[in-house]
Structure 1
Amino acid sequence: MADPNDRRNIVLIIADDLGLTLNCYGVKSIQTPNLDRLAAEGTQFTHAFASTASCSGSRSTIYTGLHTHQNGMYGLHHGLHHFQTHAHVATMPSLFKDRGYQTGIIGKVHVGPRDVYSWEVYEESATRDVRWNAERAGAFFDDAAAADKPFHLTVGYRDPHRDDTRGGFGNDDPDVLGAGFDIPHYGPDDVEVPSYLSDLPVVRQELAEYYTSVSRMDLGVGLLLDELKRRDLDKTTLVMFVSDNGAPFLNSKTTLYDAGVRLPLIVRRPHATPGVINPNMVSFVDILPTCLDWAGDTLATSNVTAPSEKPSPPLKGHSFLPVLECADILGADRWQQHVFGSHTFHEVQNYWPTRFLRTRQYKYHRNIAWRLDFPFGTDLYGSLSWEAIRNSEQPIMIGGRPLAKYLFRGPEELFDLQNDPDELHNIVDDPAVQEQLAEFRGLVERWQFESDDAWLMRDGVSVLTSLRMQRQGLELVDRFDFDHDNPGTQSDKLYKTPAGIEKEAPKAG
């Protein structure tokens, strides 16, 4: 029998709709002692970014190491929406099962299909009874020990997602009311209203309910960590804590503003330096390569296999284990200090594709369908907080953003986050930043081309799907959108694909 102390186990914990609303991330009005302790024992990243601000899409990037436009999970998986990951894509559970790990997921899943996300232990549940998550995790650990296997377990909490009411966060759910949880409850005067929201009584009331849901999730994390410690598995287990997207309020969830995609990432590696505050920029597509690296897998930064004849795309991220304990910002020779993001749908009717580049100072948004209104997710539209905001005094403001600027955005946005952290003032037309704008535009378009992004558009058509015709003489005018007033192709500004990238033309239909 192999020595259990030589195993490299992994527990991945995913909160649902949690932004940076944790005490250890500076929100001192909320009590999250278990996550605060996990951060004190490990590394807390200050600049960790999801690729997208929608539940299924974000989880898929964590599980595949690919952006949503690559893995096919363009929007929500459940119900009417039915977005699914491509059959040829390798996933975290399939990769670790192939490497001899016992794999499992407990709680919220929210991705599919099941044969692509092939966890061996599959205990999907929408319960908010966080003791159940911990009990089932304990049983999973015991089963892995009996099978003499290392393990990779994902625990997905339903908290602090909204419930099915217009202003609730599960605090009145039957599985919560009868549980007798010892967690704090908050009132409207106890909360801090984030700058991206308007300070109204109803907003404060919803935030108070949200805080309670966050504290319940934090209790669940503590119970889960206790199950590890009780079995001495804390000495052999890499623990990661993340959220899938920002808080379920306007200006956050479903948007690619920082409130929607700059999220908690806490990592505890056994025997590592505790209490590290890591300022380096990481992306959630880095999580799968990091897990593979921890397992000693050389495939962490190369091609991976998948259960189909078509090869899975190369992982887009990189293992951050080599820089995990860095408390200083590293140079580009050691770590890339920018991240990309990709959002296309939330619900199936919420089509608003955007790609973004985030550097340490700037955020560049390429809004592909900018002629459409920015859509409301149904849970946000139906919320009491939005009802209060829309019926407040004119002019209607959502935090510091006028309602019109929330709904109507140009084809490009550029924000100087050092001077404008809430991304309120689009400086895309400022003559002083045209050099940076051109650089960022080029970086995003090259990334889109390299990653087979069908939403790389020129003259209103996809560059990738029209590539075969371009090689037969089709010329695309070098502009984002089709111009019905000037439809001709007689122009000295014709699109050229990025230099140095050889690419097979995909089938267009």
Structure 2
Amino acid sequence: MTGMNRRRAIGTIGGLVGGAALPAGCRSIGEPSGATGKPNILWLVSEDNNPFIGAYGDRLARTPNIDALAREGILYRNVYSNAPVCAPSRFCLLTGIHPESAGPAHHMRAEATLPDFIRTYPDHLRSAGYYCTNNEKTDYNCRVEAGEIWDDSSATAHYRNRAAGQPFMAVFNTEITHESRLFGSTDGAVRPEDVRVPAYLPDSPEVRRDYASYYNLVERMDDFIGEHLRALEEAGLADDTIVFYYSDNGGCLPRSKRYCYDEGLRCALVVRVPDKWRHLAPVSPGLEIDAPVSFIDFVPTLLSLAGIAQPAELPGKPFLGQRIADPKTLAFGMRNRMDERYDFIRTVTDGRYRYIRNYMPHRPLGQPVAFAWMLGSYADWHARFLAGTLDEVQRRFFEAKPHEEFYDLESDPDEVVNLAERPGRAADALASMRAALDQHMLAINDNGFIPEGSWLEGYGASRVAGAYPLERIMGIAAMAAGGRQDDLGDLAALLGDEDPTVRYWAATGVLIRMPDAGGLGGALRLRLSKENDLHVRIVLAEALSHTALAADGVAELARIAGRETSEPIRLQALNALTFAPDPSPTLEMIDTLVNDTGYLGRAATYLARTIRGTFDPHISMLPPRR
């Protein structure tokens, strides 16, 4: 448990509150006498946090303010962001829509276009009379203007500026624990020798220093939470305000942020509901809830608290308010492009087990990311891998991935014992999660199979009848990622399919089987000469680079990466060159990209240094400041 002798509500609200059943698994909670109007809502948001928090049972954590908030409120034990990084996660929080339903919102730092009928939550709340402020982080991964959706989005935005008697919804965000704060050392009560190093990391001074610094930053973040709680009390608003504390995604230590393990997706969530609004809560103060909650549920919850009808397009379930849904049993997560590196992962958890499906098993998790590698612990980990001093578990991060991963979080919290092939007594859970993930991806029209930059991306474009046959594509992608050599003939035949997304995944399947499919060199070169879709050409060219006709493949990748076309396509070509067996003939072109200030420059810097044999993980790959 947590060491605080807290009572727990094990994923149920039955018997704890009254109310007649409503459709779609919701329950109506009657309003007691004396409660009128609408509750104020305060969101206190920290960045890049796992629950390194005392109330969650962490004995090293020094978080008295969050711990007190938990004693007075409800602690949600299994809460997950829908993406293990800020921008896609914040898209979900703003819109109530899965980022992978509205490509390219599922990629890190992209600009999705929202259909007119999808409204942001501040838009909904302002229509209901709320004064809505954001102080001041946006990073919404879509084309919205903060000044148009908020009453105030700035460093001075505050609920105190509302009209007299007006209910407010206010967001205050802190970057105290953002990963960039770990680029140095932070002293405090927790020392490097105090921390536990997980099995997937080397037990090194750099790793211990970053863990200790993280704990000390969390303590400072807790001070921020305390300051806002005291300000609310001093303003005389605590009895009228429902307070949320949560983190915008999982942690930022190695193998957390950007990765689909618990440390990348699991977040803290504590909600304090004052007596006046107790009828809007599922349980009494001091209880914990084990049932999974994900960020897709936050917008429906806000609407439920404010008495606003939930639009049909929102897939989440409210966990507070006038229409509390039955508890969920699963939470889903995803990863696609993170910064300058491409990958494609989907995952689901019930809080006990985590199932992960890798659609690009040929790409290691540990593709160098310039910004993340500024952490000393990442640089040290990679340097030890290059030196050959890691053990088998610690090396996995830098090696090819299995198609499937399955972990028992109770017995294996570090997620290092993959039960996918031998689940034993958990076989039923594995089968159930496989099926549930397929059903979920179909239900939300997952855009992840569409290469970034394709005209098919988008909430509307991907739903045009016949444009994106998702069920068929999912089957081909599963065949591609499964890696069975027996499927090579079927994949090669699909290279001539009419659908470019089908051809893309067929080519990916051939690439995954390299170098065993090297005998297809002539057929790949012929197919490349006929292919008109640049995304497919990139994958075909990378596959060709693993054959006796490698020079033709490398030359094609250099042509695409160096030409004037869209940045996503150029970045995909540059990533493909990074994994070509011999990209050295392209060095002159790569050098022309090194000074690019975006993701192209970061990827080119790594590749140029690797070709020259000068790559050192300890030396920044970020472009120099101008």
2:478 is matched by which residue type in structure 1? F
SS of equivalent residue, structure 1 residue 60: helix
Structure 1 416/444 Cα, relative in aligned 2: closer, same or farther at 3 Å? Answer: same
8 Å Cα contact 2:405-2:419 kept in structure 1 = yes
The 3-state SS of whatever aligns with 1:6 is coil
Q: Is this contact kept in 1: 2:201–2:394, CA < 8 A?
A: no
Q: Which amino acid aligns with 2:316?
A: G
Q: Find 1:86's aligned residue among 100, 114, 130.
A: 114
Say which of 160, 166, 175 aligns to 1:158.
175
Q: Which residue number corresponds to residue 50 of structure 1?
A: 81
| Counterpart residue number, 2:229 | 225
Q: Which moved more, 1:254-263 or 1:407-416?
A: 407-416
* Equivalence for 2:134: 105
1:65 aligned to 2:76? no
Please give the alpha-carbon distance, in whole angstroms, between the structure 1 residues aligned to 2:420 and 2:211: 34
Do the aligned partners of residues 226 and 476 (structure 1) sit closer, same or farther apart at CA in structure 2, a change above 3 Å counting?
A: closer
Change (3 A) 1:123 1:470: closer
The residue number in structure 2 matching 1:445 is 438
- Compute the displacement of 1:405 (Å): 4.7
Deviation string 1:345-373 (CA, Å, 9 cap, x unpaired) is 221x2221211111243211121222222
What secondary structure is seen at the aligned counterpart in 2 of 1:419? coil
Give 1 or 2: higher strand fraction: 1
Q: CA deviation at 1:385?
A: 1.1
Deviation at 1:429, TM superposition (A): 2.0
User: 99, 108, 111: which one pairs with 1:76?
Assistant: 108
Q: Write the distance in 2 (CA, Å) between the matches of 1:478 and 1:203.
A: 40
Partner of 2:390: 396
The equivalent residue for 1:334 is 326
CA distance in 2, matches of 1:248, 1:166: 11
Q: Does 1:358 align with 2:349?
A: yes
Report the CA distance between 1:217 and its aligned residue. 1.4
Aligned in 2, Cα 1:85/1:224: closer, same or farther, shift over 3 Å? Answer: farther
Distance in 1 separating the partners of 2:113 and 2:185: 31
For 1:202 and 1:279, the matched residues in 2 are separated by 34
Distance in structure 2 (CA, Å) of the matches to 1:205 and 1:378: 20
Q: Map 1:198-213; keep pairs closer than 5 Å.
A: 198-213=202-217
Q: 1:103 to 1:248 in 2, by over 3 A?
A: same
How far apart in 1 are the matches of 2:477 and 2:377?
Answer: 39
Distance in 2, Cα, partners of 1:68 & 1:355:
13
Q: Aligned partners of 1:245, 1:233: CA distance in 2, in Å?
A: 28
1:96 to 111, 121, 125: 125
The 2-side partners of 1:235 and 1:242 are apart by: 20
Map 1:170-189 to 2 at 5 A: 185-189=189-193
Amino acid at match of 1:450: A
2:358 equivalent to 1:367: yes
Q: Deviations over 1:413-461 (max 9, x none)?
A: 222333322221222222746554443222212211111112359xxx9
Q: Distance in 2 between matches of 1:94 and 1:39?
A: 30
Partner Cα separation in structure 2 for residue 366 and residue 191 of structure 1: 31
Note the C-alpha offset of 1:57.
Answer: 1.2
Deviation readout 1:30-54 (Å, 9 max, x if unpaired): 2111111111110111111111110
Q: How many residues align?
A: 431
Structure 1 residue 214: Cα displacement:
1.4
| Contact kept in structure 2, 1:281 and 1:339, CA below 8 Å | yes
Q: Which residue of the other structure, out of 161, 169, 189, is the alignment partner of 1:143?
A: 161
Quote the offset at 1:264 in angstroms.
0.5
Cα deviations by residue, 1:55-91 (Å, 9 ceiling, x for unpaired): 11112212222221124422333xxxx4345353321
| Aligned residue identity for 1:45 | Y
**Residues 1:346 and 2:330 aligned together:** no
Unpaired runs of 5+ in structure 2? 1-33, 279-283, 481-486, 495-534, 536-626
Deviations 1:375-398 (A, max 9, x none): 34333223211232334485415x
What letter matches 1:346 in structure 2?
Answer: M
1:115 aligns to 2:115 (yes or no): no
* Deviates further, 187-196 or 410-419: 187-196
Structure 1 pair 220–291 and aligned structure 2 pair: CA distance change class (3 A): same
Alignment deviations for residues 215-271 of structure 1 (CA, whole Å, 9 cap, x no partner):
221111111111211122111111111112222122211111011111111111111
With over 3 angstroms needed to count, the CA separation of the structure-2 counterparts of 1:226 and 1:71, relative to structure 1, is farther
Aligned to 1:214: 218
SS at match of 1:36: helix
Paired with 1:68 and 1:150, the residues of 2 have a C-alpha distance of: 29
Quick one: which amino acid aligns to residue 74 of structure 1?
Answer: H
- SS of 1:14 mapped into structure 2: strand
Give the conservation status (yes or no) of the 8 Å contact 2:106–2:336. yes
The alignment partner of 2:78 has SS state of strand
- Offset of residue 194 of structure 1: 4.9
Q: Secondary structure at the match of 1:277?
A: strand
2:370 and 2:400 mapped to 1: Cα distance? 18
* Counterpart residue identity of residue 291, structure 1: L
Closer, same or farther: CA 439–209 of 1 in aligned 2, 3 Å: closer
- 1:24 equivalenced with 2:55 (yes/no): yes
Bigger RCO (CA 8 Å, 6+ sep): 1
CA distance in 2, matches of 1:475, 1:407: 26
SS of the equivalent of 2:55 reads helix
Please give the alpha-carbon distance, in whole angstroms, between the structure 1 residues aligned to 2:441 and 2:45: 27
Instruction: Please report the TM-score for the alignment, with normalisation by the length of structure 1.
Output: 0.76
The sequence identity of aligned pairs, in percent, is 26
Q: Paired residue for 1:133?
A: none
**Is the Cα contact below 8 Å between 2:202 and 2:394 reproduced in 1?**
no
Q: Does 1:382 align with 2:371?
A: no
C-alpha distance 230-7 of structure 1, shift in aligned 2 (>3 A): farther
**Residue type of the partner of 1:227?**
A
CA distance in 1, matches of 2:464, 2:123: 33
Partner SS, residue 266 of structure 1? strand
Q: Bigger radius of gyration, 1 or 2? A: 2
Matched residue type, 1:480? A
**Inter-CA distance 105–481: structure 2 relative to 1 (3 Å threshold):** same
Secondary structure, aligned partner of 1:280? coil
In 2 relative to 1, CA 359–431 (structure 1 residues): closer, same or farther, beyond 3 Å?
A: closer
Structure with the higher helix share, 1 or 2: 2
Q: Distance in 2 between matches of 1:225 and 1:94?
A: 26
What amino acid maps onto 1:103 in structure 2? Answer: C
Q: Is the 8 A contact 1:67 1:342 kept in 2?
A: no
Residue 277 of structure 1 pairs with residue 277 of structure 2? no
